[in-house]
């Protein structure tokens, strides 16, 4: 295999960071091969149980046939999803940011609920996640959080989550028990390979250092280790404060900045794309991509694909695959219709 030969060359691992794109390609190919093998096995199992059910008409055989048909349907759905993940950055790791919008403390609490939802989805997929930055709310929830999510096609799967997410519920912060609407925005960027050149001039940067915020007591950072970088030409601001080292925080902040600049360039080339998130509206009414309703009824609805799920608890517990698939299918259909 060509990739294996490249990895086994003498000195190939002297600079492991240069192998990142090769390893990513390898994991992507293994992911697709494994998916094809699972689909083939599921198909064969259905054929075998179908023969047994036709021969004996035994109840056990019919039950097993139904179970294997369900498995085959799932494998077909996974394969369909993999076919849609053919963008140049789809197999990249993802940088995911969550910010509360209109709704005050309810919005901050909603942002933390979304964080939990995505962490549960990551866990169900067996992906890896690293929290790059988090700013806690004063009363509850979070003011912002940035995650790096690593796994096969992490960015391709999550890119459709970029947009405004709306929550309708009885607010736990309202003593009168009234229904409130809260909003939070999700941004998703590809974690670009280190060999992709994004020109960032030193004179275009303003770098500020400050003490990282924390819950208090012994956890309060007593040194100026947190880093905030402002890219002056675009006014993009990123920050990182989770590491104790100012140098590490600066490195991670630059990584996020480059990812955002790269995504900005990609979106500039796709200016006609309706889902262009760079020009998204305010984080408030009329701009949401998905609504999570807990009162007066229970329903999660995606306003692009019209996919719905009444099992709100399961969705908030990370059951997102059906929404991810419907969003990718909708985007694919829109691209085909625009041709």
Cβ atoms within 10 Å of 243's Cβ, excluding its own: 18
Tokens representing 260 are 């955002």
The helices-and-strands tally (H runs, E runs) of the chain is: 8, 11
pTM: 0.71
CA distance 127 to 307: 25
Residues 6+ apart with CB under 8 A from 134: 142, 144, 145, 146, 242
CA distance 135 to 112: 11
* Amino acid 158: pLDDT: 96
Whether residue 232 contacts residue 205, with contact meaning beta carbons closer than 8 Å, is answered with: yes
Residues of the chain with pLDDT under 50: 194-195, 216-220, 272-281
Looking up tokens 């910010």 gives 99
* Amino acid 222: pLDDT: 59
For residue 96, give the nearest of 160, 165, 188 by alpha carbon. Answer: 188
CA distance 51 to 16: 51
* Amino acid 51: pLDDT: 82
CA distance 331 to 297: 28
Q: What is the SS3 assignment for 329?
A: helix
* Amino acid 281: pLDDT: 47
Helices (H), 145-187: 154-158
Looking up tokens 């004179």 gives 203
Residues 6+ apart with CB under 8 A from 260: 189, 236, 238
Residue range 77-100, pLDDT digits in tens = 878 877 888 888 888 899 999 999
Residues 6+ apart with CB under 8 A from 115: 98, 142, 145, 147
Cβ atoms within 10 Å of 160's Cβ, excluding its own: 24
CA distance 256 to 271: 22
For 78-112, give one letter per residue: b (16+ CB within 10 A) or e. Answer: eeebbebbeeebbbbbbbbbbbbbbbbbbbbbbbb
């Amino acid at each position: 295999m060509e990739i294996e030969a490249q990895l086994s060359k003498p000195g190939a691992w002297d600079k492991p960071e240069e192998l990142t794109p090769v390893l990513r390609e390898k994991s992507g190919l293994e992911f697709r091969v494994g998916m094809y093998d699972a689909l083939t096995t599921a198909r064969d199992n259905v054929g075998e149980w179908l023969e047994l059910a036709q021969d004996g008409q035994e109840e056990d055989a019919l039950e097993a046939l139904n179970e294997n048909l369900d498995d085959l349907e799932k494998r077909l759905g996974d394969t369909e999803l993999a076919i849609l993940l053919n963008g140049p950055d789809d197999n990249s790791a993802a940088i995911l940011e969550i910010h509360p919008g209109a709704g005050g403390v309810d919005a901050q609490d909603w942002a933390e609920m979304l964080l939990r939802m995505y962490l549960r989805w990551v866990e169900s997929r067996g992906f890896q996640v690293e929290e790059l930055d988090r700013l806690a709310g004063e009363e509850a929830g979070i003011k912002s959080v940035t995650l790096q999510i690593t796994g096969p096609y992490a960015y391709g799967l999550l890119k459709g989550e970029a947009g405004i997410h709306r929550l309708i519920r009885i607010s736990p912060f309202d003593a009168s028990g009234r229904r409130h609407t809260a909003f939070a925005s999700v941004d998703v960027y590809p974690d670009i390979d280190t060999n992709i050149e994004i020109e960032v001039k030193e004179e275009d940067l303003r770098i500020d250092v400050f003490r990282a915020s924390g819950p208090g007591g012994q956890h309060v950072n007593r040194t100026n280790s947190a880093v905030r970088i402002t890219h002056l030409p675009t006014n993009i601001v990123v920050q990182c404060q989770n590491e104790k080292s100012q140098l590490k925080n600066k490195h991670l902040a630059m990584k996020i900045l480059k990812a955002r600049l790269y995504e900005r360039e990609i979106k500039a080339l796709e200016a006609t794309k309706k889902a262009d998130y760079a020009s998204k509206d305010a984080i408030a009414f009329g701009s949401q991509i998905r609504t999570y309703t807990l009162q007066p009824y229970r329903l999660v609805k995606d306003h692009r694909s019209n996919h719905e799920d009444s099992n709100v608890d399961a969705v908030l517990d990370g059951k997102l695959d059906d929404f991810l698939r419907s969003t990718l299918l909708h985007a694919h259909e829109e691209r085909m219709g625009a041709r």
